[in-house]
Amino acid sequence: MKQHLYLMTLVLLFPLINSGFAAEGGEAVTLELGKRFPLVSNHLGETRDVLVRLPEGYAASTDRYPVIYVLDGESHFHHVGNAVNILKGLRRMPAAIVVAIPNNGNRIRDLTFEKETFKRFLTGEVVPMIDKKYRTSGRKVLFGHSMAGAFSLFLLTAEPDAFDGFIAASPSIHGEDGALLTLLTNLFAQKKHLEKSVYLTRTSVAEEGPGLTEAFTQLVALLKKTAPPELKWQHDVIPHQSHMSTPYLTAYEGLSMVFRDFQFPSLANHQEYKQFGGWEGIEKHYARRSEKYGTAKEVPSGAYGRIGWMLIDDQQGEAGLQLFRANLEKNPQSPRAFAMLGNAQAELNQTEEALKTFQAGLKLAKDQDADILSFISRRIETLTKEFKKNPSP
């Protein structure tokens, strides 16, 4: 058996093969999910598969990446990997390596009776192998569902520094006579500084059962009462799902939650902007993000635009214009920066100024043969007609 085996999406392939479309000569669609590596475990005394999915462009870059570790890998490798790709594309999280550990028929053993041994396998063998083989950043997130969700929370209590984020879908924390709740109580009493992220979900009582639901409710109460201030946590009750469907929705929301400090701050109005620290707060956010994720320290052009429009919408027109002007000053060779300022000026009925801005941007766009050329031309045409109808006094 080759060391590197390509994984194909059989879930996608089989329906196409069996469909009328495939029978009529359509080409079956296959995708490479990642690669499979056998790992000989001294702790478990057996060989276990490890599945790895690298981010797009990994080979051509020198970047280091956070790692998402996925338990019950045969069930969740595919959809967690898709969630990472989608959220990365939407700038809700950084590009990341996805590592999944499938079960080998000993799930109950690993996650309950011999969870200490499985913990040592995960933290002492799998993680070091990944760190050695790939360019990892040191940031790690653990995803688990049901018994694996409870194991994820157990690992938080047993080895708090092993992971930075914990995502648990419908965690079966009611097992072992509630021992996990006791462990978490002790952890919060001993660890006054716990800079971690924890995201928890469940669905209805009818689907989860009273035991899991009651234990979940107790855990939420415990977090509200005694969780250290630095511990960022969130819980959601997901309606209209089952115990077996919660991990799919949980992956998206959980990854968004644990990487919230990567995202652009969500600020709805001028008051929230001031409370965030104004533009100085925005600059500090990107400086912290750079230190944590290795991204650029500079505030991106899009951030100027988002905050600028938020301020204009909240009747803070001049403050918004200042940001668009600052963005243009920072990017004087960008036709798009001219267009952003021109649109803002037009919105504030500064039609003559907007025309001048767009005309300067048009010249630059022509020189660069920029893709925004046609947009700027249309805006000049529209604003010229408006200006002729309503010239400035």
DSSP per-residue codes, 336-374: HHHHHHHHHHHHTT-HHHHHHHHHHHHHHHHHHT-TTHH
314 near 321, Cβ under 8 Å?
no
Structural domain boundaries in the chain: 31-262, 270-389
Percent pLDDT > 90 in the chain is 87
Task: Sheet with 136-145: list strands edge to edge.
Answer: 5-8, 32-41, 46-53, 97-101, 65-71, 136-145, 165-169, 197-202, 232-237
Mean pLDDT for the stretch of residues 277-301: 95
- Better pLDDT: 8 or 89: 89
The pLDDT mean for the chain works out to 91
Residue 18: is its pLDDT beyond 70? no
Q: What is the pairing mode between strands 197-202 and 232-237?
A: parallel
Q: Of 118, 154, 129, 120, whose CA–CA distance to 39 is shortest?
A: 129
Q: pLDDT tens, 128-185?
A: 999 999 999 999 999 999 999 999 999 999 999 999 999 999 999 998 778 999 999 9
Residue 3: is its pLDDT beyond 60? no
Q: pLDDT tens, 190-240?
A: 988 999 999 999 999 999 999 999 999 999 999 999 999 999 999 999 999
Q: Which residues pair with 234 in a beta bridge?
A: 199
339 near 361, Cβ under 8 Å?
yes
Question: For residue 38, what are its two tokens?
Answer: 């056998």
Q: What is the pLDDT of residue 20?
A: 47
Mean pLDDT for the stretch of residues 20-39: 77
Report residue 391's pLDDT band, with 50, 70 and 90 as the boundaries: low
Q: Of 63, 76, 95, 92, whose CA–CA distance to 33 is shortest?
A: 76
- Better pLDDT: 314 or 21: 314
246 near 169, Cβ under 8 Å?
yes
Report residue 372's pLDDT band, with 50, 70 and 90 as the boundaries: very high
- How far apart (Å, rounded) are the C-alpha atoms in residues 342 and 356? 8
Q: What is the pLDDT of residue 24?
A: 64
User: Do 31-262 and 270-389 agree at the fold level?
Assistant: no
Q: What is the pLDDT of residue 390?
A: 73
Question: For residue 144, what are its two tokens?
Answer: 């688990």
48: phi then psi, degrees, rounded to nearest 5: -120, 145
The string of DSSP letters for 73-107 reads HHHHHHHHHHHHHHHHHTTSS---EEEEE---S-H
Distances (CA, A) of 301 to 209, 264, 323: 49, 12, 10
Q: Of 66, 254, 241, whose CA–CA distance to 167 is shortest?
A: 254
Residue 389: is its pLDDT beyond 90? no
Q: What is the pLDDT of residue 33?
A: 84
- Domain 31-262: give its CATH code: 3.40.50.1820
Mean pLDDT for the stretch of residues 51-78: 96
The conformation of residue 312, written as its DSSP 8-state character, comes to: H
- Better pLDDT: 304 or 32: 304
207 near 294, Cβ under 8 Å?
no
Q: What is the pLDDT of residue 5?
A: 33
Report residue 28's pLDDT band, with 50, 70 and 90 as the boundaries: confident
Report residue 119's pLDDT band, with 50, 70 and 90 as the boundaries: very high
Alpha helices in 103-245 (DSSP H): 107-108, 115-121, 127-133, 147-158, 179-190, 205-208, 210-226
Q: What is the pLDDT of residue 80?
A: 97
According to the CATH classification, is domain 270-389 in 3.30.565.10? Answer: no
Residue 350: is its pLDDT beyond 60? yes
Q: Is the whole-model pTM more than 0.75?
A: yes
